Every structure is written in C-alpha cells, then in structure tokens.
Chain A
Amino acid sequence: MTLQDGVTWLIVAGAVAFLVNRMVFAPRRKKQAADDKPDVPVTALVRKRPKR
C-alpha cells in the first residue's frame, strides 16, 4: 500500500465515521438533551416568587 492509498483510506474512513456520527449518535445526543428539557417547559412557565 502506497502513502497515497493510506491517506485515501483515512479520508474514506473519516467520511464514514462522520456519517455514522451524524446519523446515529448525534440524533441520540439531541434526543437526550430534548428529554432533559421538555419541548414546552411547562414547569418553567411558573416563575419563582421574588425574594422579599
């Protein structure tokens, strides 16, 4: 395998890793973040009573 071939495979592997991350892991992370915070934060609708 030549140096060109090695770099080529690295780039291809990087592209595959990027796509897997983008399509599989990133949505999971987003979903987790969305689960932690409701779409409409009803709890947040309630403002804390101001301190006297």
Chain B
Amino acid sequence: MSRVRVLLAGNPNAGKTTLFNRLTGSTARVGNYPGVTVECSAGTLRLADGLSVELMDLPGTYSLSARSPEERVAVDALFARGEAQPAAVVVVVDATALTRNLYLALQLLETGVPVVVALNMMDAARKTGLAIDHEALSQALGAQVVPISAARGEGLDVLRGQIATCLGNPGERSAPSVAYPASVEDAVAVVSPAVADFQPDASAGSRRALALWALLSLGDDELVGVPSRLRDATAAARATALERATDLDQAIIAARYAWLDAAVTRSVLQPAKNERSFTDKVDAVLLHRFAGVAVFVLVMYVVFETLFSWSAPMTELIEAGVGAAQELVQRSLPPGSLRDLLENGVVAGVGNVVVFVPQIALLFLLLGFLEDSGYLARVAFLIDRVMARVGLHGKAFVPLLSGNACAIPAVMATRTIETRRDRIATMLAVPLMSCSARLPVYVLVIATVFSSDERVLGIFSQGALVLFAMYAVSVLATLSAAAVLRRTVLKGPRPALVLELPPYRLPEWRTLLRSTWERVRSFLVDAGTVILALTIVLWALLTYPKSDEVAARHEAERVAAASIADTGEREARMTAIDDSESGEQIRNSAAGRFGLALEPVLEPLGFDWRIGVGIIGAFAAREVFVGTLAVVFGIASGEDDPVPVSDALASATHSDGRKLMTPLAGLSLMLFFVFACQCMSTIAVVRRESGSWRWPVLMFTYMTVLAYVVSFSVYQLGSLMGWGLT
C-alpha cells in the first residue's frame, strides 16, 4: 500500500530544501522523473501522532505556469493522479518577500488542494522590524499559516501539528475569491467546457483553476500531452480577448496581485525598516561594472585553484588505489585474457570514472556554496551582457564555467536555464570548453614537441603559452558555437534575464554536503556503469582478434632470450619482446585494423594509424588517449608516466622515415582534441538531459567535423608555408 504523500512547494531560495532536511532528517533520497530530469527529493516526515508520510521536495518555482522544467515537475507532482496524488501541500513562503512568495500559494489554493503555509525566515523578518499577524493572513488565505525559521529549527513542531490537522480533514477547500475582470471571466467560461468534456466529474472549482492555468500556460509552451480541444479553446479565448485589446496574462496576474496586496496589507502589523541592508552594501561592490568584474575574476581564480590543488591529493590517492587494485589482479591471477581484462579493462575503467569524483564533488560543493550564498545570481547578472552578444542566457555562465573541469556536471548544470532552446544551445556548446581530461593530452604533446625552457619575449615559457592558447581557443570556440547554434538550428528570441537577487546568506553545510553527495552518487551510478561497459568493449576491440603467428614468433624469441646469462640484459630483452608483441597484436586487433584503414583519412591532419588508434580509444573518454598510445607504441604501463610515451612519440617516424610528431603535427593533434567530441559520458548525459538522441548526434557531428576541418586546415596551411615541420 502506498504512503500518504505531502508536497513541499515554494519559490527558489525560500529555504525549502533546508526545511525539507529539517523535517526528514537523514532519510532523503533522490528520484528522477521520466522525460523531465529535474531532481525531486523525497523523505519520510514523522508527525506528532505517530503517523509517517512521504514528504516530496519539489524544485523551486515562482508559479505553476509550467514553462520551465522545474515548473513542469512541480505541476506534474502537484496534480498527479491515483496513489501519487498529494494529500496536502506545504508552501514555503519567504516572510521577507511576502507578496511575491504568496503568489504560488494563491495559485495552489485556487485549485482546492489542502494547503499549509510555512512562513519561513521569520528570524530575518524580525531583524528588519517586519511584524506579521499570521492569524490574519491565515484567515485571508483560508489556510493555516505557521511562522517558522527552518535554518534555526523554530516552529517546526507546530508545523508538523498543522500538517497532521490538515491531513485529518480531507476534501476540497474553498478557493480564495480573487476578483478577476469580466474579460478573464469570459475567457474562463470559454475554456471551462473543454475541461468539463475532458473530465466530466471535476468540481466547478477545479475546472475554473484548470481554465486559469491553461490561459496562462498554453500558447508559446513546450508541453506535450495537452488535449487539442483544451488548446483550441484557450487559443479562441485568447483571440477574443485580443480583439478587445485585453492582455489576459496581465489581467489574471494583476487581479491576483491586487488580491494579495490587500491580504498582505491587512496582515502586516509593522513593515520592514527601509534601511540600507548588508546585502545592499555588498551589492554596491559586487554589482559594480569594474569592481564587480575584478571580484568575480578573483573568485573564479580561487575556485579553479581550489579545484585543482584540493582535488590533487584525493585524485592521487584514488590513482594509487587503482594501481594497487591492478597489482592485486596481477598477483591473484595467472597471465591470460581475464587478467588483462580485469587489469586494463574493469579496474582501469572504474578508475577512470572514480578519478573524476574529487573534482566533481569539489566543483558542486564550491558552486553550491556560491549559489546558496547568493553570489552566483550576481555573477549571472554581471555576465549577461557578454552572453547576450552570442545569444546565450545569462544563466549559461555557470555551466560554461563548470565545463573547464568536466562537461558532465556542466551539462547537468544547464537545468537551471528556463527555456529548452537556451538549455540545448548551452548543452551543445559546453563540451568545447577544455575539460580536465584534455589536459593530459595537451601535456603529452607539449612535452613531446614544445620546449618548456625556451622563452617567448624572455618571460613566458613556450609550453605554457601553447597550453594557454589551447584554453583560449576553447573559450572562443564555445562562444562562437553558441552564437552559430542560436542563429541557426536553435533560432529564437533570447529571453531577458529576469533574476531575483536574493539577500546574502551563509549557506547551511548540511544542505550543501547532502546535495553534493546526491550528485556524486548519481554520477557514479549513471556514468560509472556506462563507462565501465564501454571500457570493457574498447579493451576487447584493442585485444581481439589475436594472431597466433605473432604469439608463436614472440614465444620463440622469449625462449631464445631465456638463455641470456646477464639478468639485467635478459629482463630488458624480455620487456622489449613483450612490448613488440603487444604492439603487433594491437595492429592486428579490430581497433588496430580500423586505425590502419583510417590512416588515409588521418594523414592529411599529420597523424598515422597509431595516433588513429589512440583517437578511436579517446572517443570513449579522452583520458584513454595517453594509455592507448602507450600500448600502441608497445610501451607497458605508460599511463602513469607520460614521459616514456612522449619519448616514443618524439622518436616515432612515418613509414617513409619522416618525423611523426613535428610541432605542426602536435598543434594539429591538440586542436583536434580541443574540438572533437570524444567522451561517451558527455554524449550519454546530453541524451539524458535533452530527452532525445537528436541533440547528442548533432553535437557529435558538428564537433567532429569542426575538429577535422580545423586540424586539416592548420596542418595543410602550415605544411604549405613550411612552419613547424622539424
């Protein structure tokens, strides 16, 4: 039997998650909804009389218009049918912004659903001198209003009691009597029959609420599953209103706010003092067009410095753990295919995912801190001008920033952007930002062909300049791609950035750590399983089919080498034979043959079949490139120490004796990695977030074509001009 469900709704930043965690303790879990992937947390709420109910924390929304994914999830849960139907809704209201927060509560009350209003942040309200008569407000709304402070844990027992009382009195409530103008009432009369036909047993109140919802939500929406009759009736009502020069949206919203203003005026005993608050003083600096940008650059530097330096010890620890696990496999199993698979496929595959966890956890923790403190809202405001030029939404800034660490959390971070068009444009451009997985490739190529000792202008090292150039190119590429996408396949108006600048608050650590853990867990489960399976398949492609002739020839060489008297010389010979055999076997493998077949296509970029095999491996995950090259060049265990691979790369030649890795070929290779979409997890996460294969396919195609064209142009032009050929 299913449990009674109570929903927790409210505006963003109203303290909803804090209240949720206070009420449910440590029982929170995360559930994904099909189609729309904005997360909802659910937990157990124990009430005073021993009754326990399921409490579901909805994404923060300002209204039920169902235009953004958060609103769609909220609407979905609020009006679910059958067992999922909520028994009551707790609306969390920020007492310091009463009228705006009560708008959602009013919309909910109009539907007749039982509502309890949690008047949150009463401590902050008291500090400003604001005094609210919650009983008067309760009378006006026709629902219980409980003053609380979720952060301090005040009033929670009373709230639990009121929820229990509300659950004890089921049935439809009478909706607040908002006086809508005649034009709205006429429109409701047109739309209501479409609702009635659809659900004949609906109450009059519900039909009215649905008609109002349809008038505000349908039209320029992205909703599916809406009956065409309801759409037609809504369009007809809108058309009639337009003929009378009436804007229905404005009329409905204005009537609701007029009702709310009156109710709030009756309930506020003493208004807040109009003093220049701490937030205003800080904003004078942080929103300043010069000082604000300077502080922002400093904050970002600290974030990246922290991300790289703090995650390094954890990353090293995990790498050591992976190495130890590989050694354990080596010790536990005799040489053979299973040992090879477990060592280089399973353990290395899991390690490849787990190695990212410290960075992902830190990134979410730091961004969560900045977001909860109220700073990120200011950054979005500051950066909106630059974003506007390329057609991106101001909120796209955070995902683009996250893309420097890893595209996966960056794609997930696009959930905060309201419109699907902006979300998809950001999602498709974000993988061009140079993620940390590209770094080993840049470092390898730079170590191979660019000198770190040589100085440019006597100050900058050549290697550091090349590395900086790669990052600069990636930022330019990202912004250009977004600009092109927004002017072609994702053409459409750029919505103005309407952003609430919340007061600065000290984030609650428990909430931050909990949300970070949920995201890390979700990453480990989702991406980890896919990457593991892909690595196993990639290992098989690089291992099979095996040539018996190659194995027999090398075995004979080993027998001959066993007779070498000098131990050191013998071991060196054995290692050389092992390297040679793995090199030949990989050439014979499915992936190796594919690399050889691909060589004519890659040659114009300055690559040979061995780089081709590395690139194929890197399409699963970029960081596989260095390891794959190590195997391809017949060098064992090259992943942890790129120097031997760079030595091999530096001395490698084409079949005609030309040097393989010239500075020009190195530049071409790095640029290929800047542009190419070589990360299965990113493709999988874009598929999940966009809800369709269409977008990841477009992303993969445009990035791969771009990578090829850029590398081709650079290599061919450089060759023509005679640049960097030696």
Using a CB–CB cutoff of 8 Å, the interface residues on chain A facing chain B are 2, 4-5, 7-8, 11-12, 15-16, 18-19, 22, 27, 30, 33-34, 37-50
Please determine whether B201 and A49 come into contact, CB atoms closer than 8 angstroms.
yes
Please determine whether B81 and A41 come into contact, CB atoms closer than 8 angstroms.
yes
**Residue in B closest to A48 when the chains form the complex, CB atoms:** B201
**Residue in A closest to B202 when the chains form the complex, CB atoms:** A46
Chain B residues touching A, range: 35 or more
Please determine whether B203 and A47 come into contact, CB atoms closer than 8 angstroms.
yes
Please determine whether B338 and A8 come into contact, CB atoms closer than 8 angstroms.
yes
**Residue in A closest to B530 when the chains form the complex, CB atoms:** A22
In the complex, A40→B224 CA distance in Å?
7
**Residue in A closest to B203 when the chains form the complex, CB atoms:** A49
Interfacial chain A residues near B198, Cβ < 8 Å: 42-43, 46
The answer to whether residues A19 and B202 also contact, given A8-B341, A39-B76 and a CB cut-off of 8 A, is no
**Residue in A closest to B341 when the chains form the complex, CB atoms:** A8
Interfacial chain A residues near B333, Cβ < 8 Å: 4
Q: Which residues of chain B in 186-227 are interfacial with respect to chain A, using CB atoms and an 8 Å cutoff?
A: 195, 198-199, 201-203, 206-207, 209-210, 213-214, 223-227
Interfacial chain A residues near B346, Cβ < 8 Å: 11
Please determine whether B172 and A11 come into contact, CB atoms closer than 8 angstroms.
no
* CB contact between B336 and one of A2, A15, A22, A41 (< 8 Å): that residue: A2
* CB contact between A47 and one of B66, B72, B172, B540 (< 8 Å): that residue: B172
The answer to whether residues A41 and B80 also contact, given A30-B34, A46-B195, A49-B172 and a CB cut-off of 8 A, is yes
**Residue in A closest to B171 when the chains form the complex, CB atoms:** A50
* CB contact between A48 and one of B35, B202, B338, B539 (< 8 Å): that residue: B202
Question: Distance (Å) between the CB of B241 and the closest chain A CB?
Answer: 21
Please determine whether A12 and B540 come into contact, CB atoms closer than 8 angstroms.
yes
Please determine whether B224 and A44 come into contact, CB atoms closer than 8 angstroms.
no
The 4 tightest CB contacts between A and B, nearest first, are A38-B225, A46-B202, A4-B336, A4-B338
Does B353 sit within 8 A of A, measured CB to CB?
A: no
User: What are 18 A-B contacts with C-beta separation under 8 Å?
Assistant: A4-B334, A4-B336, A4-B337, A4-B338, A7-B338, A11-B345, A12-B537, A16-B537, A18-B529, A34-B34, A37-B34, A40-B66, A43-B199, A43-B227, A44-B79, A44-B80, A45-B210, A46-B198
Please determine whether B537 and A15 come into contact, CB atoms closer than 8 angstroms.
yes
Please determine whether A47 and B226 come into contact, CB atoms closer than 8 angstroms.
no
Interfacial chain A residues near B325, Cβ < 8 Å: none
In the complex, A18→B693 CA distance in Å?
18
In the complex, A46→B210 CA distance in Å?
7
In the complex, A8→B341 CA distance in Å?
7
Interfacial chain A residues near B540, Cβ < 8 Å: 12
The answer to whether residues A39 and B35 also contact, given A45-B206, A49-B201 and a CB cut-off of 8 A, is yes
